[in-house]
Amino acid sequence: MKLFKRKNGYWYIRFARGKEKSLKTKDKKLAEKLFRALYKEALEGKLILLEKYQKITLQNFIKEYLEYSASIKSHATYKRDKIALKKLLDFLGDIPLKIITPKKIEEFHTFLLRKGHKPSGVNVEIRHIKAAFNKAVFWGYLKSNPYGKIKLLKVPKRPPKFLKEQEIELILKSIDDQNFKELIICYLETGCRRQELLNLRKEDVDLQNGFIRVKGKGDKIRLIPLTKTVKKILQKRLSTVKGEQLFLYHPDTVTHKWIKLMRKLGLNYRLHDLRHTTASYLAIQGIPLKFIQELLGHSDITTTQIYAHLRPEDLQSALNISILSKSKNAGKMQACPLKILK
């Protein structure tokens, strides 16, 4: 803070560059008295704020951060933030935020691995907690992020897991709930993520031009072409479903119904494997990875490249398809990646 006098004769206080306030007096002694009072008040405020930052604990920070997360992030991301931070709190306890070190964090990761967590799962926790501590630095609670130099755990690259045609046929025959069956078919024939279809609204469907508009990660909008099957399903739902949302399911309900179905059939697939299935069948048919990347909404082509490493027998099938069929549409994205869903 600085006290100064302008040419007009009035005294001013400069708080920071570009931030000034007139004391509305030409009396130097009064200006100095007001300046001392304001300086003392500002100093006390800074000390209180500094004391708050020094005393803030992990639990208090988590509470503040989750309120922030809930207000600006998707519900799914907020839930992941909450789960990751709770695990960290359970391990470290309610300690001052400033004493959390990279060593304590690495001990936390080791603890998770020993409990049976997969490296890929621990990496999810790392991403969410690192983002939280970045915000702690931004808010002034920490000078630096203890996760700053911590790298993601190495995860062995494996080919994507996808359903075989006979398994898809078995699954669809086993679903009694017509609404759930239609949702599963739409997942298979669009490659959409779980939430992307559940967020689909009537205004997002363009039957005339044959596409749907979905909002993916980072609120990125992309257009998904409709197969004949999906177009038929959506056309019916547009006229029969009340309200704007086309699939009236909570995300957790969809996952629970899928898990229950897998147990019933003795299969071991995640709901997300439907997305892998769509992409894998397209790759087997020789569709260029760039097209698959655009369909799935991958921001980086390296994410899509997992579909270039299919099992040898799948690659052999793909070669047979490309050599024997001599399709005129080779290299173009076909409307339906799965033969049984024409």
For residue 19, being part of any structural domain is answered with yes
DSSP codes joined into one string, 28-51: HHHHHHHHHHHHHHHHHHHHHHHH
Radius of gyration of the chain (CA): 29
pLDDT in tens, 328-341: 443 333 344 454 34
Give 15's pLDDT tier (boundaries 50, 70, 90): low
Residue 307: give its domain's CATH number.
Answer: 1.10.443.10
pLDDT in tens, 132-183: 999 999 988 888 999 998 999 988 777 778 899 999 999 999 999 999 999 9
For residue 159, being part of any structural domain is answered with no
On whether both 115 and 244 belong to a single domain, the answer is no
In angstroms, the CA 44 to CA 38 distance is: 10
Residue 89: give its domain's CATH number.
Answer: 1.10.150
Confidence (pLDDT) at 335? 40
Write down the mean pLDDT value for the chain.
Answer: 83
On whether both 209 and 306 belong to a single domain, the answer is yes
On whether both 120 and 243 belong to a single domain, the answer is no
The tokens describing 284, both together, are 């087997």
Domain count, the chain: 3
Q: Which helix (H) or strand (E) holds 14?
A: strand 11-16
On whether both 39 and 62 belong to a single domain, the answer is no
On whether both 229 and 321 belong to a single domain, the answer is yes
H-type alpha helices, the chain: 28-55, 58-72, 75-92, 102-114, 119-138, 165-174, 178-190, 194-198, 228-240, 251-265, 273-284, 289-296, 301-304, 312-325
Confidence (pLDDT) at 84? 96
pLDDT in tens, 128-142: 999 999 999 998 888
For residue 148, being part of any structural domain is answered with no
For residue 64, being part of any structural domain is answered with yes
- Rounded to an integer, the average pLDDT of 297-319 is 65
On whether both 73 and 202 belong to a single domain, the answer is no
For residue 61, is pLDDT > 90? yes
Q: Which domain holds residue 74?
A: 58-138
For residue 239, is pLDDT > 80? yes
Confidence (pLDDT) at 132? 96
On whether both 11 and 124 belong to a single domain, the answer is no
The residue among 32, 55, 78 that closes a domain is 55
State whether residue 164 is helix, strand or coil. Answer: coil
In angstroms, the CA 317 to CA 302 distance is: 23
For residue 144, being part of any structural domain is answered with no
On whether both 50 and 77 belong to a single domain, the answer is no
